[in-house]
Amino acid sequence: MDNRRVVVTGIGAVSPIGNDAKSTWESMKEGRSGIRLIESMDTTDYPVKIAGEVRDFDHTKYFSNPKDARRMDRYAHLSIAAAQMALDESGLLEGELDRDQVGVMLGSGIGGLGTLEVNHTALMQRSPSRVSPFTIPMMISNIASGVFSMEHGFGGPNMAIVTACATANHSIGEAWRMIKFGDAKAFVAGGSEAAIRPMGLAGFANMKALSTRNDDPTSASRPFEVGRDGFVMGEGAGVLVIEELEHAKQRGATIFAELTGYGLSADAYHLTSPHPEGLGAARCMEMALKHSGLNPEDVQYVNAHGTSTPQGDVCETKAIKKSFGNWAKEGLVVSSTKSMTGHLLGAAGGVEVLACIHAIRDGVIPPTINLEEQDPECDLDYCANTAREMEVKAALSNSFGFGGHNASLLVEKF
């Protein structure tokens, strides 16, 4: 099993800062924020009026049958669009292919919240007969994964993981594990979210989890900054095509990076708060390093979970220092691209591993914007405000979710 190497051959993304992977990465390098006043719903009665919305995006061109698109929730639109972009870039369908050896793992932290809201309103205000017969398949979190396999006849392993904000990293990591185990030759894997809805916004706002910097949206997401006051909701999707190395080489695929490490753990501590010393997150990163065979000093960049919450950023800083030892301060560069995208929840890891792969390819670390006065308890190099040119041979992506779910992915230059 350990001899099977896994590489990345396709990247797809839809985000508040770009409607594909290329434009998302360009925005990251430029330090461009995608946080705006919410346009998709009336926020008059809400304490929070800002989010990272996907704008001006036509999902219909990614569906061969427009009727199928109408029967799916927005989270699935974003997921399938990003998956199709990754698949097209990979060239996987261009030659002979055993489609029973291709798996799909497209997850979502919340799933079809918009569908649930609309149909619950129809039920309560009108009658049971007004509930759409497509309500359940539109709402459930596994349907994007199922529909994408149907579209392309991919008969390999097919699952949808739901681990809140760790969903995308877990999806990619478990797909990596299945390829190494020999259960598939290739996987389309990642996550999506579309929870900027009345229920989603009210639920997170009433938890006091969200920033209320409504008068200055682009500066609201400020990880590791002394004035941070909560995360900013975002939506989008991030999906990779990953393959067994020999399979990719045989078909002459372009290889963007090698996926060499995957760590996962539980905080086993609290419903929504991370462990105060970051112990679960540290175990997660250490497992990814162990799988990769790398020492801490072999890693140049960490794309942090970095949500801009007062407690979370401090706990992750402690976890990084525990995992990387002296190297955390001597040579490691950390940044949070959530400062630009907001928190994409179940899609976060898929978009953030994109940042790691492109950092390796281009030799550029994306910045943490809005970092004006660094929290004294957050005492690492967070690549403040401006992208930095430097060689990156290995990078780690962290995603930590409600329920204490932790997932880290480690990618290396191929």
**Per-residue H/E/C for 307-358:** CCCHHHHHHHHHHHHHHHCCHHHHCCEEECCHHHHCECHHHHHHHHHHHHHH
Cβ pair 241, 86 in contact under 8 A = yes
Number of domains the chain is built from: 2
Does residue 185 fall inside a structural domain? Answer: yes
User: Is the same domain home to 74 and 42?
Assistant: yes
Does residue 255 fall inside a structural domain? Answer: no
List, for residues 52-64, the tens digit of each pLDDT value: 999 999 999 999 8
Give yes or no for residue 276 having a pLDDT over 80: yes
User: Is the same domain home to 99 and 236?
Assistant: yes
**The pLDDT value given to residue 130:** 96
User: Is the same domain home to 290 and 217?
Assistant: no
Does residue 238 fall inside a structural domain? Answer: yes
Average pLDDT over residues 386-413: 97
User: Is the same domain home to 208 and 337?
Assistant: no
Give yes or no for residue 1 having a pLDDT over 70: no
User: Is the same domain home to 68 and 140?
Assistant: yes
Does residue 257 fall inside a structural domain? Answer: no
Average pLDDT over residues 223-247: 98
Does residue 1 fall inside a structural domain? Answer: no
**The pLDDT value given to residue 66:** 82
* CATH assignment of the domain containing 364: 3.40.47.10
User: Is the same domain home to 215 and 278?
Assistant: no
Instruction: Give me the helix-helix angle, 143-152 and 74-90, nearest 10°.
Output: 40
Last residue of a domain, one of 250, 270, 298: 250
Q: Which residues are catalytic?
A: 165, 305, 343
Does residue 83 fall inside a structural domain? Answer: yes
User: Is the same domain home to 345 and 204?
Assistant: no
List, for residues 287-307, the tens digit of each pLDDT value: 999 999 999 999 999 999 999
User: Is the same domain home to 15 and 122?
Assistant: yes
User: Is the same domain home to 200 and 307?
Assistant: no
H-helix segments, 9-128: 21-30, 66-70, 74-90, 113-125
User: Is the same domain home to 224 and 353?
Assistant: no
List, for residues 87-129, the tens digit of each pLDDT value: 999 999 998 999 999 999 999 999 999 999 999 999 999 999 9
User: Is the same domain home to 94 and 194?
Assistant: yes
DSSP string, 257-318: EEEEEEEEEE--S-SSSPPTT-HHHHHHHHHHHHHHT--GGG--EEE------HHHHHHHHH
Last residue of a domain, one of 227, 250, 273: 250
Last residue of a domain, one of 250, 282, 312: 250
List, for residues 306-340, the tens digit of each pLDDT value: 999 999 999 999 999 999 999 999 999 999 999 99
Mean pLDDT of the chain: 97
**The pLDDT value given to residue 273:** 87
**The pLDDT value given to residue 258:** 98
Give yes or no for residue 2 having a pLDDT over 70: no
Model pTM score:
0.97
User: Is the same domain home to 137 and 275?
Assistant: no
Does residue 256 fall inside a structural domain? Answer: no
List, for residues 155-193, the tens digit of each pLDDT value: 999 999 999 999 999 999 999 999 999 999 999 999 999
Does residue 414 fall inside a structural domain? Answer: no
CB neighbourhood size of 388 (10 A):
17
Residue 352: domain span: 262-409
